[in-house]
Structure 1
């Protein structure tokens, strides 16, 4: 297959009108040559051709949750994400007991090991909890919180098939620094749900943490005399997550984060729960009821409980907030892939990488989604020539 006439987002973060050749599941070349007789053609004239999006922090969608721990539920999430242009994701857990997490991660291993076509690929697990501070619990259940436990992590990682790509920890909890030092050899460690000050967070980054979960949310406010986790992240973090749904952060803050940290350090995430893609109503997250009104998810006490937007919508909103298109694309594809060690396979349109490709109209709506070299389009799933 050849994708012709599109404005291709190249690995140097610039657009160029050039063609993309796909051979099987892989990108074969980026070329100026035209299609040849008999070659399947996707005409991307007046469109953007960009990498498939990578969501490293998603709890659920389409009525299902990663923590349901069922193959059918994981498939529903993957199907929905693929239809929206999210081609890779990390299933994200909640603060639960080890037995529950073991069951969930074992099911995740089965799903990851299966060969699926036509939907998003679950690349691994984001272990969000239970190593958190009660002072910043967010939508997690405090009764599940425990001190960081390396042996528990190793047991769960083994059950997952060594697929925990990201693990979250509050650095002020007992034993956190030793935990970070050891576990960062296995997974990316993220500072999260924490009441830590600047120096405590600085020690966490020195110990091996490199990531910050949903910046500004579930952590102390940035203050010019007490910069806290956000200040330490500015100095030391490789990547920070941003939920650009317009609810978790004001649009001005989203713009400011990109200017402050640089577009090479920001990861757009959805943090979506099972109500993503669903109507308003009552849903559940981590064993607690969540009310969705006007797309906003809250617990009974008013605490925001994840988002109801998929990453593709968060990307479009970020651009609508004033983030440059090129920066938003890096934050939705390349940066998250780099943050959890997936960039060798996905996240950019490089020769040899998996052919997870989006064709976006000028208004950033989807024209086509290509997952592993297979094309999906709105209203037409198997064309030989798409115009």
Structure 2
């Protein structure tokens, strides 16, 4: 496939007018307009046969000046279109993956809620089975199959969190950090769990827990009431990720900077942030970028099952949620209960309503989550040898085409 006449988002974080060449599910060339002729000559010279040359050129897309960016990667969301990852149903995961691909999210790491340990183990085992089945299906995939986002990990938001900052998590299922239980989660998921959230102030053994687990899984600070000092200690012990910055954590003030201040001071810590226009004021989004640096910010959607669905009443982690417009709140106390906005819309909102440059926003939805997940060598940028997951956006950042695995 040749995708020509597009503004290609390069690995250096800039847009260049040019094109992309793919073979199978892999990117084989990226060229600027001035390199086009030479690239095509090389392509013809390296083609093994006239049949291969014909295959390369039979599918040419004229991008008409569209932006070409990598497929988006959402490493923290719960569901969409009436389904939730924690339903523990392989068909639900499939439907979720199909919806996400349709809106430009080509790789997913869905999040768990705070549920009983045995139920979480069952959910994780189901996810591992789904992943294995997908690997077999990909070998016989046809042009008529619906595109699906690749399942690249799991983000465990609970159960080792704070009841004070539980948000939309069920307090009855919260427990202190426990290495044995954490290992059970990793084993049940066949090590698909990539992030394990904790509230360090809730466990006397938090530092040792982090030190003993950090080489097996990314430890994140999640739903935590930790002070600056406690969060700082956790990050220095080896935690390296912060779940939805500003939300469900200690407030950020000039005398008590809390988790936000500790994350800002730690140059290894990556921070998720929700740019749906509901969770955080645009001014604080811009402030976070200035404090953390764009290279440490990760856009997430935190979307729940009502995403893509009409207003009404839904559930999240067994709790009742009311959805009105783009706001989801617990029926019980009005607390925010995830979002109803997909990652593509969050990225667009960050650019059009929050003053984040497009080049920066794209990195926060592609490169940065790929780095955090440990999959940047295979996806997250438009680079030779990487997965051919490419989106075409018009000048209003409206999605025009999804190219998934080169098709």
Q: Same fold (TM over 0.5)?
A: yes
Residue 364 in structure 1 maps to residue 393 in structure 2: no
Equivalent position to 1:108, from 103, 107, 127: 127
Match of 1:53 among 57, 61, 72: 72
Correspondence for 1:205 among 235, 238, 247: 235
- State the shift of 1:295 in Å: 2.1
Q: How big is each residue's C-alpha offset from its partner over 1:220-260, in whole Å with a ceiling of 9 and x where there is no partner?
A: 11111111111000011421111001110011111221222
Q: Residue in 2 aligned with 1:173?
A: 202
The answer to whether residue 125 in structure 2 is matched with residue 71 in structure 1 is: no
Give 1:282's aligned residue: 313
1:53 and 1:111 map into 2 onto residues whose CA distance is 21
Output the CA distance in 2 between the equivalents of 1:238 and 1:172.
18
Alpha-carbon separation, structure 1, partners of 2:357 and 2:75: 21
1:154 maps to 2:186:
no
Distance 1:337 1:354 in 2: 12
Is the 8 Å Cα contact of residues 187 and 340 (structure 1) preserved in structure 2? no
Q: Counterpart of 1:216? A: 246
Aligned equivalents of 2:224, 2:121: Cα separation in 1: 24
Query: Is the 8 Å Cα contact of residues 53 and 333 (structure 1) preserved in structure 2?
Result: yes
Consecutive unaligned residues of structure 1, counting only runs of 5 or more, are: 375-387
Match of 1:230 in 2: 260
- Structure 2 counterpart SS, 1:19: strand
- After TM superposition, the structure 1 stretch with the greater mean CA deviation from structure 2, 302-311 or 188-197, is 188-197
> Which residue of the partner structure matches residue 314 of structure 1?
346
Distance 1:111 1:58 in 2: 17
Secondary structure at the aligned position of 1:134 is classed as coil
What secondary structure, in the 3-state scheme, does the structure 1 residue paired with 2:152 have? strand
Give 1:144 deviation, angstroms: 0.4
Aligned counterpart, 1:2: 2
Show structure 2 runs of 5+ residues with no match.
45-52, 142-146
Q: Tell me if the contact between 1:141 and 1:286 (Cα under 8 Å) persists in the aligned partners.
A: yes
Counterpart position of 1:195 = 225
Aligned partner of 1:304 in structure 2 is 336
| Equivalent residue for 2:100, pick from 81, 89, 113 | 81
Q: Which has the larger radius of gyration?
A: 2
**TM-score where L is the length of structure 2:** 0.90
Shift of 1:52: 0.5
| CA deviations over 1:16-41 (Å, ceiling 9, x no partner) | 11211101011111123356773111
Q: Distance in 1 between matches of 2:361 and 2:315?
A: 30
What secondary structure is seen at the aligned counterpart in 2 of 1:18?
strand
Quick check: 2:153–2:373 contact (8 Å CA) kept in 1?
no
Secondary structure in 1 matching 2:235: helix
* 3-state SS in 2 of match to 1:135: coil
Residue 110 of structure 1, CA deviation: 1.1
1:367 shift after superposition: 1.2
Structure 2: how far apart are the matches of 1:4 and 1:238?
A: 38
Residues 67 and 394 of structure 2 are in contact (CA less than 8 Å); yes or no, is this contact kept in structure 1?
A: yes
For residue 179 of structure 1, give the secondary structure of its aligned residue in structure 2.
helix
State the Cα distance separating 1:287 from its structure 2 match.
0.4
Aligned length: 374
Equivalent-residue separation in structure 2 for 1:2 and 1:333 (angstroms): 22
Partner of 1:350: 383
> Does the 8 Å CA contact 2:388/2:403 hold for their aligned counterparts?
yes
Shift of 1:166: 0.9
Shift of 1:141: 0.5
Mapping of residues 20-39 of structure 1, within 5 Å? 20-31=20-31, 32-33=35-36, 38=54, 39=57
TM-score between both structures, scaled by the size of structure 1 = 0.94
Which consecutive segments of 4 or more residues in structure 1 shift more than 6 A?
none
1:384 maps to: none
Shift of 1:159: 1.3
Q: What are the superposed Cα offsets for residues 303-346 of structure 1, whole Å, 9 maximum, x if unpaired?
A: 00000000000000000121000110010111011112111111
Q: Is the 8 A contact 2:109 2:155 kept in 1?
A: yes
Does the alignment pair 1:183 with 2:186? no
Cα distance, 1:119 vs. partner?
Answer: 1.2
Report the equivalent of 2:364.
Answer: 331
